[in-house]
DNA sequence: TATTTATAAGTGAGCAATCACTCAATTTCA
DNA sequence: TGAAATTGAGTGATTGCTCACTTATAAATA
């Protein structure tokens, strides 16, 4: 790794850690620079602004995750297998870089509106899979967005509570449970 | 309503709306005062600081919701009935004052650590109900925190996506589905 | 190879703007 | 008239960001 790339990476990691511990608004450029062992001015050699640095970090994870989820579910045929592939992929992403994952999780509401239209999107991947399965008659037809939200919530809320420290350990340890639970949500019978 | 009480209520509502639209950190005291048709100094007759105003709003909803959920589930005997009571109560709270609800939802991570120990807590209510049901053999024994998170996620993620505008309409319209889905999550069979 | 030149990377004092909060003066109203 | 409520210009502290300058690295030249 070149010197410049190393500095940029250090800045990103320092910012990420602080953004999660406090928040983007409450983290100062001075703090980021200190944590990266660099002068404040150096930040602006690599990023046009603090906000852009925050957005860059978010978008990279957001789009990377979306693509990974898309590829993970593709080989599977039936909905049940697709769900398990998606859940496993998601949990592995979370466990691999928990700080980046937590940052993405806690800052969706501030950045989601800035995601370019048509860009890869984790939610759309899940939504499309569910929509397909409804058309194929694998699960009852319902409001797709509602059902997708509930199914996603099974995993995402667990992840959120891990961020809050309500429980510990790898998310990946519970892939089977998450997949079973998400499937159960999607398969709820109409009455 | 007295004049002073009216001013305080207007300030709270103005702050709430702005906190949801932007965020606490990005909302200025000047904006709050303007939105409440009041001078900036007036804020400090009713609140010691902007942060305390933000915390007051959060805690009032947090504890009110916790008590309401606790009372809602008490009369019910079986887990299935308790779940439905909790879900219905939660959705009604959300629909009754959506702005306050959205504020609570989006700012959990900043305020949850400041909740006084032993104070009424929505999550604890759900956790206890699930824990009881496990002891009674109504559902399989599992990591209570994990299972509670997933069950809660079924409803909370749907609420979150409504905040993001991914779908519209009252949450209460889907109480039956949420309750069925949460139940399905809790009842997932061990293998 | 040794020396000069060019470029990239890094610095930190300082600036303009903004913010939460204060308080002396003014208005409201019983 | 007097206490309570309200006002908004003012204050000190903080912030994101700039920029003239230094240092490190690489390229070119003799």
pLDDT for B1-16, tens place per residue? 566 778 999 999 999 9
CA B19 to chain centre: 15
| Best to test chain B binding among A149, A162, A190 (most B CBs inside 10 Å) | A149
Would you give the DSSP letter of residue A174?
A: G
In Å, what is the separation between the CA of A38 and the C1' of D22?
15
Q: Give the domains, in start order, of chain B with CATH numbers.
A: 1-47 (1.10.10.60), 58-186 (1.10.357.10)
The reply to whether residue A163 touches residue B23, judged by beta carbons under 8 angstroms, is no
pLDDT for A128-153, tens place per residue? 999 999 999 999 999 999 999 999 99
Residue-wise DSSP of A102-155: HHHHHTHHHHGGGSPTTS--HHHHHHHHHHHHHHTTSS----HHHHHHHHHHHH
pLDDT over 90 (residue B76)? yes
Chain B 29-68, CB < 7 Å to strand D: 37-42, 45
Of residues A30 and B120, the one with the higher pLDDT is: A30
**Nearest CB to A23 within list B110, B146, B157:** B110
Q: Which of A150, A103, A92 is nearest to A126 (CA)?
A: A150
Residues in chain B within 8 Å Cβ distance of A163: 109
pLDDT for B32-44, tens place per residue? 999 999 999 999 9
pLDDT for A47-101, tens place per residue? 999 999 999 999 999 999 999 999 999 999 999 999 999 999 999 999 999 999 9
In Å, what is the separation between the CA of B25 and the C1' of C18?
13
Q: What is each CA distance from B122 to B14, B126, B171, in whole angstroms?
A: 26, 7, 18
Which residues contact residue B102 at a Cβ distance below 8 angstroms, ignoring those fewer than 6 apart? B20, B163
**Nearest CB to B156 within list A142, A143, A153:** A153
Distance CA A165, CA A68 (A): 27
pLDDT over 70 (residue B125)? yes
Distance CA A73, CA B98 (A): 35
pLDDT over 90 (residue A160)? yes
Least confident window among A2-16, A132-146, B18-32: A2-16
Distance CA B155, CA A109 (A): 18
Q: Which pLDDT belongs to residue B1? A: 56
pLDDT over 80 (residue A13)? yes
């Amino acid at each position: 790794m070149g010197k410049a790339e190393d500095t940029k990476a250090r800045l990103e990691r320092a910012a990420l850690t602080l953004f999660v511990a406090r928040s983007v608004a409450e983290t100062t450029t001075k703090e980021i620079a200190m944590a990266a062992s660099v002068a404040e001015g150096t930040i602006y050699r690599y990023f046009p602004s603090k906000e852009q640095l925050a957005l860059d970090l978010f978008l990279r994870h957001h789009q990377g995750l979306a693509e990974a989820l898309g590829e993970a579910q593709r080989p599977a045929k039936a909905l049940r297998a697709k769900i398990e592939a998606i859940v496993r992929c998601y949990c592995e992403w979370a466990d691999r870089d928990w700080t980046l994952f937590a940052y993405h999780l806690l800052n969706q509401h501030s950045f989601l509106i800035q995601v370019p239209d048509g860009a890869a999107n984790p939610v759309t991947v899940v939504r499309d899979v569910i929509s397909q399965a409804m058309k194929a008659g694998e699960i009852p037809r319902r409001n797709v967005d509602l059902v997708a939200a509930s199914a996603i919530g099974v995993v995402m809320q667990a992840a959120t509570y891990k961020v809050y420290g309500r429980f510990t350990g790898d998310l990946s340890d519970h892939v089977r449970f998450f997949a079973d639970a998400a499937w159960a949500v999607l398969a709820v019978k109409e009455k």
